[in-house]
């Protein structure tokens, strides 16, 4: 056996983000012909230490396809099959990744309007990206935020991330968070991140969905978003935690109904 055959070839990428290639999955509506049909598109963004193939992203993509809405779910840098080091990941780098995917989606000839959907940290990215694009022609038509993790700023100020604790006034080069190394750059940026200020610049319709039993990101963070936005609706799911994986039908129906109204 030749030596080179022992190694997997570098994956080929169509989209490049802040730290290299971005892995994504495109899901088209049922019985859709991209050569002649047109449809709206949703861009799905996972949370911290998650990936595009973890719930709820595949379930949402499947439901949207049945509703006639295409979707792209992707792995942020250093997550899933995308390139990059976790230690280099920041909210800014994830926003850059999302912008790259959005640009790719805009160039697909069959795409009409675009929505952003994000869970947890992906929800923070979705909100801030929408706010940044408010005055631009590539502004999203609507936004869905699932348990958006605006708590990440307060956690960084307090010197904590999940189970890990650190000196917030002088963060180390990295913090061990389960099997990942969270970099100092993430912490320093998060401490000063204008999450609500940037997100509130977006004037389009926003759907906030949050479980009342969320212990990772308390409900008050979505309530603050709801107060900040000009046009938003807040759906509180009774008995749901941060993963929103109890009554999956209720979550999927809420997302699909909102997109059907606004795309």
Domain ranges of the chain: 16-150+196-262
CA distance 124 to 72: 18
Query: Do β-strands 15-17 and 20-22 pair in parallel, antiparallel, or remain unpaired?
Result: antiparallel
What is the C-alpha to C-alpha distance for residues 230 and 128, in angstroms, rounded to an integer?
A: 14
Classify 176 as helix, strand or coil.
Answer: strand
The answer to whether residues 225 and 196 touch, using CB atoms and an 8 Å cutoff, is: yes
Indicate the DSSP class of residue 3: G
Q: 21-33, pLDDT tens digit by residue?
A: 999 999 999 899 9
Mean pLDDT, range 85-97, rounded to an integer: 98
pLDDT band at residue 4 under the 50/70/90 scheme: very low
Query: How many residues make up the chain in this entry?
Result: 263
For residue 21, give the 3-state DSSP assignment.
Answer: strand
Q: Give this prediction's pTM.
A: 0.94
What per-residue confidence (pLDDT) applies to 10?
60
As its CATH architecture, domain 16-150+196-262 has 3-Layer(aba) Sandwich (3.40)
How much helix, strand and coil, in percent to the nearest 5, is found in the chain?
35, 25, 45
Distance CA 222, CA 82 (A): 29
Tens digit of pLDDT for each residue in 206-242? 999 999 999 999 999 999 999 999 999 999 999 999 9
């Amino acid at each position: 056996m030749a030596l080179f055959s022992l190694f997997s070839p570098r994956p080929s990428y169509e989209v490049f983000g802040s730290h290299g290639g971005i892995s994504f999955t495109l899901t088209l509506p049922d019985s859709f012909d991209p050569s002649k049909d047109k449809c709206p598109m949703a861009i799905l963004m996972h949370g911290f230490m998650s990936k595009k193939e973890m719930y709820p992203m595949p379930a949402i993509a499947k439901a949207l396809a049945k509703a006639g809405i295409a979707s792209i779910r992707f792995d942020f840098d250093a997550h899933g099959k995308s390139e990059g080091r976790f230690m280099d990941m920041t909210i800014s780098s994830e926003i850059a990744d999302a912008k790259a995917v959005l640009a790719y989606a805009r160039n697909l000839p069959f795409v009409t309007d675009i929505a952003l959907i994000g869970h947890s940290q992906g929800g923070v990215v979705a909100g801030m990206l929408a706010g940044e694009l408010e005055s631009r022609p590539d502004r999203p038509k609507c936004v869905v935020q699932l348990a958006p993790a605006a708590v990440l700023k307060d956690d960084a100020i307090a010197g904590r991330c999940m189970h890990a604790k650190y000196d917030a006034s002088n963060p180390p080069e990295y913090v061990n968070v389960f099997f990942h190394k969270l970099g100092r750059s993430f912490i320093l940026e998060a401490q000063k991140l204008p999450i609500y200020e940037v997100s509130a610049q977006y004037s389009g319709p926003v759907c906030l969905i949050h479980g009342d039993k969320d212990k990772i990101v308390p409900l008050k963070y979505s309530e603050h978003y709801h107060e900040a936005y000009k046009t938003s609706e807040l759906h509180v799911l009774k008995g749901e935690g941060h993963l929103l994986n109890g009554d999956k039908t209720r979550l999927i129906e809420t997302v699909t109904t909102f997109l059907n109204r606004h795309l």
